[in-house]
């Protein structure tokens, strides 16, 4: 495949973006390694799309610098930055055929007709678009439109590809398929991918690295495994994983954690909890939801809400008391005042002791 492009690294340095009075991004610094698949994940309004549009050059920065491949591109137009982009709405030109849509950029750049045709054939084959080249976008299904948008992004062989929630308009089955396809395309062509999504499944299954954002700031940058196993902040802990991680106050562990600061929260994933007669957590059942293979139990533990995912079908009556246990390496400690993960050995030891 000759469409391969070598990725370039992207670097955001102390980027700030302000809209009138609203601060959208505050002192944001981010390194995206060349050729990586980086997902920018976060709830709506966290600034992830703004970040992407700043990399693309569709928004200007209020302060800070943007570097692509080591060049300072802060003042460059989108076209000068060597990027391609797939929009959430696909942004296909409705009056042009699929073929014209895909080669639009090449034509603008003055690539000769023969070369355009050759590359179009390659891309059409790669994305299985050959039968549709003469159709207008309106005559295509959502998935096919998505492929055309991908085709337009990869044909120019630019070193960086940006995607803004490209799968959010597709149904669930098609989304799974396109997820694998985009991943395959990125591996095969080797460009640097920045992929914005609010869907943690997409981020975790596709990306090499996940950038988790909240309220205009980066919460954590890590591999999908690490962000699940060692969330850096209470927000990261709650955002990654379904159902979200429980963050319990010290009181949930009874007398064992007396004297620790009130800002301490113990994080336990619902799937890490098991029923055990001598478990350290005592909780009252509030309700239960049957999920098929598991039962999701809603409990109350020392005034805090607690979710537990227990294997099998359980019939539970509200008000019933359950004792739950968890293995020590499945426990996380956070300080909500400092918004950070605690790696306090003595605290870890105390938590381990409760288990015995």
Partner 1 sequence: MLRTRGWIHAWLLLLPGFVFLIAFTHLPALTTLWSSFFTTPRGRRPAKWAGLENYDTLIGDPIFWKVLWNNAIYAAGTIPLSIIIALVMALWVNRQLAGRGFVRMAYFTPTVLPMIAVANIWMFFYTPGFGLIDQIGGALGFGQTNILGSANSALFGVMVVTIWKEAGFFMIFYLAALQTIPTSLIEAARVEGAGGWTIFRRITLPLLMPTTLFVSINAVVNSFRMVDHIFILTGGGPDNASSLLLFYIYEVAFRFWDTAYAATLTVVLLVFLMILAIGQFFLFDRKVHYR
Binding interface with partner 1 (CB under 8 A): 56, 58, 77-79, 83-85, 87-89, 91, 93-95, 104-105, 108-109, 136, 138, 152, 156
Min dist CB 86 to partner 1, Å, is: 9
Shortest spacing between CB 153 and partner 1, in angstroms = 9
DSSP bridge pairs for 288? 297
Cα–chain-centroid distance for residue 70? 25
What does 21-67 look like in DSSP terms, one character per residue?
A: TEEEEEEEEEEE-TT-EEEEE--TTSSHHHHHHHHHTSS--SEEEEE
- For residue 126, the cross-strand partners are none
Report, in Å, the least distance between residue 172 CB and partner 1: 24
Q: How far apart are CA 28 and CA 26, in angstroms?
A: 6
Identify which of residues 140 and 232 has a Cβ nearer to partner 1 in the complex. Answer: 140
Tokens 């409760």 found at: 354
Kind and range of the H or E run holding 282: strand 281-290
Question: Are the CB atoms for 233 and 334 separated by under 8 Å?
Answer: yes
Bridge-based pairing state of the strands 63-68 and 71-72: antiparallel
CB 262 within 8 A of CB 302: no
Complex with partner 1: residue 104 or 350, whichever CB lies closer:
104
| DSSP codes joined into one string, 55-106 | HHTSS--SEEEEEETTEE-TT--GGGGTEEEE-TT----TTS-HHHHHTHHH
Joined tokens for residue 72? 């300072």
Query: How near is the Cβ of 226 to partner 1 at its closest, in Å?
Result: 32
**Shortest separation between residue 118's beta carbon and partner 1, angstroms:** 19
Closest approach of partner 1 to the CB of residue 152, in Å: 7
Shortest Å, Cβ 123 to partner 1: 14
Distance between CA atoms of residues 112 and 275, nearest Å = 69
Nearer to partner 1, 157 or 276 (CB): 157
| Residue with Cβ nearer partner 1 (146 or 214) | 146
* Nearest CB to partner 1, comparing residues 91 and 251: 91
Whether 247 contacts 333, CB under 8 Å: no
C-alpha closest to that of 324 among 287, 280, 265: 280
If the CB atoms of residues 108 and 349 are measured against partner 1, the closer one turns out to be 108
Q: Which is nearer to partner 1, 85 or 210 (CB)?
A: 85
Residues 192/35, Cβ–Cβ less than 8 Å: yes
- Paired with 162 in beta bridges are 85, 194
Per the CB < 8 A criterion, the answer to whether 214 and 235 are in contact is yes
Name the residue nearer to partner 1 (CB basis): 156 or 200.
156
Are 332 and 272 a contacting pair, CB within 8 Å? Answer: no
The least distance separating partner 1 from the CB of residue 116, rounded to whole angstroms, comes to: 13
CB-wise, 161 or 247, nearer to partner 1? 161
CB of 27: closest distance to partner 1 in angstroms? 26
């Amino acid at each position: 495949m000759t469409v391969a492009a070598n990725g370039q690294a992207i670097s955001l340095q102390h980027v700030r973006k302000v809209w009138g009075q609203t601060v959208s991004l505050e002192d944001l610094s981010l390194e995206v390694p060349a050729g990586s698949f980086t997902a920018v994940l976060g709830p709506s309004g966290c600034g992830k799309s703004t970040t992407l549009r700043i990399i693309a050059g569709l928004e200007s920065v209020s302060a800070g610098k943007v570097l692509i491949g080591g060049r300072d591109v802060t003042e460059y137009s989108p076209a000068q930055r060597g990027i391609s982009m797939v929009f959430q709405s696909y942004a296909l030109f409705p009056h042009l055929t699929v073929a014209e849509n895909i080669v639009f950029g090449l034509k603008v750049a003055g690539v000769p007709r023969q070369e355009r045709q050759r590359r179009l054939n390659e891309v059409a084959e790669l994305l299985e678009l050959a039968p549709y080249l003469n159709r207008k976008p309106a005559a295509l299904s959502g998935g096919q439109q998505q492929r055309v948008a991908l085709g337009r992004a990869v044909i120019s062989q630019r070193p960086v590809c940006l995607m803004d929630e490209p799968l959010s308009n597709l149904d669930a089955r098609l989304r799974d398929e396109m997820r694998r396809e985009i991943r395959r395309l990125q591996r095969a062509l080797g460009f640097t991918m920045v992929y914005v999504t609010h869907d943690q499944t997409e981020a975790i299954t596709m990306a090499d690295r996940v950038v988790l954002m909240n309220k205009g700031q980066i919460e954590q940058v890590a591999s999908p495994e690490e962000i699940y196993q060692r969330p850096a902040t209470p927000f990261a802990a709650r955002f990654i994983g379904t159902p979200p991680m429980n963050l319990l106050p010290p009181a949930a562990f009874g007398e064992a954690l007396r004297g620790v600061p009130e800002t301490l929260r113990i994080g336990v994933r619902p799937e890490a909890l098991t029923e055990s007669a001598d478990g350290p957590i005592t909780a009252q059942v509030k309700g239960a939801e049957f999920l098929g293979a598991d039962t999701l139990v809603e409990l109350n533990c020392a005034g805090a809400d607690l979710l537990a995912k227990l294997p099998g079908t359980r019939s539970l009556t509200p008000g019933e008391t359950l004792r739950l246990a968890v293995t020590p390496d499945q426990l996380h400690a956070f300080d909500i005042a400092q918004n950070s993960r605690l790696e306090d050995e003595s605290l870890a030891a105390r938590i381990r002791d409760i288990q015995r």
